[in-house]
């Protein structure tokens, strides 16, 4: 099929979707997963021998955007974004031990893309005073048109304001029986795009993240997941030793990580543990995610699953265990590699230097 007719079909599909109520959208999405080629695959020419550490046929990465109240304070979704942010943070606190347990049960590591501020035990009014100011902007999800970027910071500590700091939760992740990885999700959950984030602000955000992680006694991150679907300021990432980032594209969802123009690796997000359609049963969701794993194995790519720890607990209890169990079973059959963003980046770079 030509590119032109594909784009026409996509346009028609978007138009149809836009006219449907939520339940109609859910059924349509289900149909797309059953009958279309979704998730779409990015081809490559890399030898299967080199792709995974133990010559597995496909891979899986699970990354979490660990962000607490920082993610939602400018959301357009809620009439009171501040209250909404606190609510989400409390849900995240309640969910986190449960999530850790599920991943421990299957020995599966998570790449925790963590907002840098969460590493702090406390802060004061002038603690972030050295950082360049974020200019006002709006994007698809947020509206930051008044005040200062740090206006919501309580300048307090994790006991008094547990929605804004999380050293206790980070310790729980660090001390888990599974060796997880900490990626950065910027310091204050900023829109990192070239359009909205000046390079000086991006630089300070990564610098502050590194300082926060290092003063916690953890090594600097080699991986990043951008907040709010943004992407940009890649030279800054390179400067601070980040080697791989996650990106979401409309056209393809399954890919083996590939190099961008600056030599950083890109891992595409394949699907999210997100209960967008309440009418879907747990079985519908399980099938969808397992299909993605099967397809990664078949096409020698990586299924990269994204989740927010503040997600609906139903997803954690009813869907996640089945998907993790399936991934672990594929791993024990030698078909599936499961690891973190940093691990695959190191593996790919080691192959590059040996060739």
Q: Which residues bind Zn ion (CB under 5 A)?
A: 65, 67, 71, 123, 153, 227
Cβ at position 81, least distance to Zn ion in Å: 14
Shortest distance, position 65 Cβ to Zn ion, whole Å? 4
Helix ranges (DSSP H) in the chain: 3-19, 22-35, 48-51, 81-105, 167-174, 199-215, 234-239, 282-299, 313-314, 320-332, 341-354
Alpha carbon distance 113, 118 (integer Å): 11
Provide, rounded to whole angstroms, the least separation between the CB of residue 208 and Zn ion: 10
Closest approach, Cβ 145 to Zn ion, in A, equals 20
Closest residue to Zn ion, judged by C-beta, is 123
Q: End-to-end CA distance of the chain, in Å?
A: 37
Residues 6 or more apart whose CB falls under 8 angstroms from that of 304 comprise 60, 61, 62, 63, 246, 267, 268, 269, 270
Which residue, among 224, 220, 243, has the nearest Cα to 186 in the 3D structure?
A: 224
Nearer to Zn ion, 221 or 227 (CB): 227
Q: How far is the CB of 166 from Zn ion (least distance, A)?
A: 12
CB nearer to Zn ion: pick between 65 and 203: 65
Nearer to Zn ion, 248 or 291 (CB): 248
Longest C-alpha distance within the chain, in Å? 59
Nearer to Zn ion, 151 or 194 (CB): 151
Which phi-psi region, left, alpha or beta, contains residue 226 (left: φ > 0; alpha: ψ -120 to 50)?
beta
Least Cβ distance, residue 67 to Zn ion (angstroms): 4
Nearer to Zn ion, 52 or 307 (CB): 307
Nearer to Zn ion, 119 or 285 (CB): 119
C-alpha distances out from residue 125 to 176, 186, 306, 318, Å: 33, 20, 34, 43
């Amino acid at each position: 099929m030509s590119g032109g007719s594909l784009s026409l079909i996509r346009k028609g599909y978007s138009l149809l979707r836009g006219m449907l109520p939520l339940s109609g959208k859910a059924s349509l999405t289900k149909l797309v997963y059953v009958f279309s080629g979704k998730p779409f695959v990015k081809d490559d020419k890399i030898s299967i021998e080199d792709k995974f550490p133990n010559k597995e046929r496909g891979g899986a990465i699970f990354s979490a955007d660990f962000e607490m109240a920082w993610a939602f304070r400018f959301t357009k979704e809620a009439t009171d974004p501040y209250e909404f942010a606190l609510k989400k943070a409390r849900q995240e606190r309640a969910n986190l031990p449960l999530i850790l347990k599920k991943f421990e049960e299957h020995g599966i590591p998570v790449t925790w893309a963590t907002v840098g501020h969460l590493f702090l035990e406390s802060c004061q009014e002038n603690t972030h005073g050295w950082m360049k100011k974020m200019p006002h902007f709006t994007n698809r999800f947020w509206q930051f048109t008044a005040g200062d970027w740090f206006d919501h910071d309580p300048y307090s500590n994790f006991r008094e304001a547990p929605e804004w700091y999380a050293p206790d939760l980070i310790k729980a992740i660090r001390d888990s029986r599974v060796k997880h990885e900490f990626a950065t999700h910027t310091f204050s959950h900023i829109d990192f795009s070239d359009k909205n984030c000046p390079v000086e602000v991006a630089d300070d955000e990564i610098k502050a993240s590194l300082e926060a992680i290092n003063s916690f006694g953890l090594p600097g991150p080699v991986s990043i997941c951008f907040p709010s679907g943004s992407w940009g300021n890649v030279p800054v990432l390179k400067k601070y030793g980040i080697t791989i980032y996650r990106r979401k594209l409309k056209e393809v969802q399954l890919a083996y990580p590939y190099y961008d123009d600056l030599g950083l690796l890109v891992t595409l997000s394949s699907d999210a543990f997100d209960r967008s359609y309440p009418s879907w049963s747990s079985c519908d969701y399980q099938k969808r995610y397992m299909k993605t794993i099967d397809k990664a194995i078949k096409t020698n790519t990586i299924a990269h699953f994204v989740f927010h720890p503040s997600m609906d607990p139903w997803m954690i209890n009813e869907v996640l265990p089945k998907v993790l169990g399936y991934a672990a079973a594929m791993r024990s059959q030698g078909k599936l590699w499961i690891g973190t963003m940093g691990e695959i980046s190191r593996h790919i770079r080691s192959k590059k230097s040996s060739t």
